[in-house]
């Protein structure tokens, strides 16, 4: 399984794993699964930290990814074009980028955000979002 974590899921994994659903915790622990964290999430975390809304050790981001066994997902030009062309079901540009990346890279998006379903992107635990 190839998964892309929404920013809040990544933050929960690293700071508050008790918030994760049991099936997700089990899935993240399967070594054959590839778990991606988008550069858009890094940007979102950095932006929220600069505003004082969250505390996160950005200087430790790469080692945190490595310890978790997660892969970074860069933003490509084609991702940016796709994100810019998405309908505005979701107002958050970071989330629209994650949707575009999940679609382009054939990834299953992991999020608790029910608004993602409007884009037809595969969602992990989709039955919980209804």
Question: In the chain, where are the structural domains located?
Answer: 2-124
> How many residues does the structure list for the chain?
130
Sign of CA dihedral 50, 74, 31, 59: negative
From CA 29, how far away is CA 68, in angstroms rounded?
A: 9
Beta strands 71-73 and 108-110, pairing class: unpaired
19 pLDDT more than 50 = yes
- Mean pLDDT value across the chain: 92
The per-residue pLDDT for 56 is 94
> How much of the chain, in percent, has pLDDT values that exceed 70?
96
Whether the full predicted model's pTM is greater than 0.85, yes or no, is yes
What's the rounded Cα separation, in Å, for the pair 47 and 103? Answer: 24
As a whole number, mean pLDDT of residues 8-19 equals: 93
Indicate the fold that domain 2-124 takes in CATH.
Answer: Rossmann fold (3.40.50)
């Amino acid at each position: 399984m190839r998964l892309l974590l929404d920013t809040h899921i990544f933050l929960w994994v690293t700071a508050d794993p008790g918030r994760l659903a049991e099936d997700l915790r089990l899935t993240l622990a399967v070594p054959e699964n590839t778990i991606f964290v988008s550069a858009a999430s890094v940007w979102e975390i950095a932006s929220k930290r600069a505003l004082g809304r969250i505390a996160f050790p950005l200087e430790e981001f790469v080692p945190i990814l490595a310890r978790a066994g997660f892969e970074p997902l860069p933003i490509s030009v084609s991702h940016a074009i796709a994100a810019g062309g998405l309908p505005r079901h979701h107002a958050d540009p970071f989330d629209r980028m994650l949707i575009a990346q999940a679609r382009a890279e054939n990834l299953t998006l992991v999020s608790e955000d029910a608004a993602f379903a409007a884009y037809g992107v595969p969602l992990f635990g989709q039955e919980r979002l209804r």
